[in-house]
Amino acid sequence: MSEPDTENERIISIADLSAKVDKLAELVSRIIPGSHAEAQQRTEERLDRPSSIEEQVRAELARAKEQEAAEQAAAGKDQELQSRLAKLEETPPAQPVPRRTRLLGWGDPR
């Protein structure tokens, strides 16, 4: 009868080990959040950062210039849109030329 006990003990111990491995995996996932792809992205971002002060300043200046150019482009588009809108606005009709003026040939010949 010792054989079934050892088999039951093995099943219990395997189940215990599986539960412990699952718990360890959960704890590790809490400590190191994210997937492998996210970890790779974080590492690439960290490695892509400039290492010297001069490089960091250049990168920030370049970023500021890009941002300024984007703002100017947006302002230019807004100004263009405003000018197009002004052209589309309805203008009041011109004053009609009196018939007597047209017949006598005075004033604006239309």
Average pLDDT over residues 92-103: 82
Q: What is the mean pLDDT of the chain?
A: 80
CA angle 100, 102, 103 (to 5 degrees): 65
pTM more than 0.85: no
Is 97 within 8 Å of 110 (Cβ atoms)?
yes
User: How far from 90 is each of 15, 70, 71, 93, 94, CA to CA, in Å?
Assistant: 82, 32, 31, 9, 12
pLDDT digits (tens, 9 = 90+) for 37-66: 777 887 887 777 767 788 888 889 999 999
Domain limits, the chain = 8-84
Q: How far is residue 105's CA from residue 110's CA, in Å, rounded to a whole number?
A: 10
DSSP string for residues in 1-65? -HHHHHHHHHHHHHHHHHHHHHHHHHHHHHHS-S-HHHHHHHHHHHHHS--SHHHHHHHHHHHHH
Residue 100: pLDDT over 50: yes
